[in-house]
Amino acid sequence: MAVTGVLALPTLLMPRAVLLWFVRSFARLMIFGLRWICGVRVEIRGKEHVSGGPVLIAGKHQAMLDVFIPFLIFRDPVLVMKRELLWYPVIGWYSLKLRLLAIDRDGGAKTMRKMLQAAEARVKGESRQMLIYPEGTRSSPGAKPEYKPAGTRAFYKSLKLPLLPLATNAGLCWPAKGLTRRPGLVVYEVLPPLPHDLNPKTMLVELETVLEAACDRLIDEGLEIQGRTRADL
């Protein structure tokens, strides 16, 4: 990441499409390294549910890999990130160039309104795809889900777009903490979209139901390949 980050610095002065190409190239390099250094295969499923237009995506977050794979699935994703990351050298510069959405998690109603306006400008104004993580942070495979409904509900009501659940079992091979990389199979699966006009409370229930069921299925598949069981988690 450090080497690629330095090599890509000239893209800050170029059109944003050039930086997008670098990000996708780095994601492919990560997949190559995982396969041939760590024995981890990465599969992407459900691409038939992906269109090139605006959409809201709700993903399960288990590994740093989750940040890069969406650039291989979606045409021009907008990732929601912590505002503090903008102050990081290189990472912050690229986030600004890619026009990602930095949020102040301690902000009030006024901050939320500005964030939703910025989200609409990026998604509908630029015909992009917005990715949010309903739990707000990385979680371990099989851990009890802790969805934070306020942000998901706000984006859903404001953007009025279909909601694509994105399931994964990445944490089996790339844990949220530490440097361990376990051989096995990582799957990212795009699930059928939820309609744009559901009652927000109904949407949250359906999202958690379908997303957790898909992740459980992928976790069981990954554990079987690794020769482990739920007791090993």
Q: What is the domain partition of the chain in residue ranges? A: 2-232
Q: Are 188 and 166 in contact (CB under 8 A)?
A: yes
Q: What is the pLDDT of residue 83?
A: 82
Coil, helix or strand at residue 75: coil
Q: What is the pLDDT of residue 90?
A: 82
Q: Which spans in the chain are helix H?
A: 2-7, 16-37, 70-73, 91-97, 109-123, 149-159, 200-226
Sign (positive or negative) of CA dihedral 74, 213, 67, 152? positive
Q: What is the pLDDT of residue 159?
A: 95
Q: How far apart are CA 81 and CA 99, in angstroms?
A: 11
- Token pair for 152: 């998901």
Instruction: Tell me the pLDDT of the chain (233 aa) as tens digits.
Output: 888 888 899 999 999 999 999 999 999 999 999 999 999 999 999 999 998 899 999 999 999 999 999 999 999 999 988 888 888 888 899 999 999 998 876 666 777 888 899 999 999 999 999 999 999 889 999 999 999 888 899 999 999 999 999 999 999 999 988 888 999 999 999 999 999 999 999 999 999 999 999 999 999 999 999 999 999 99
Beta bridge partners of 20: none
Phi, psi for residue 7 in degrees, rounded to 5: -60, -30
- Token pair for 183: 């051989």
Q: How many CB atoms lie within 10 A of CB 89?
A: 7
| CATH top class, domain 2-232 | alpha beta
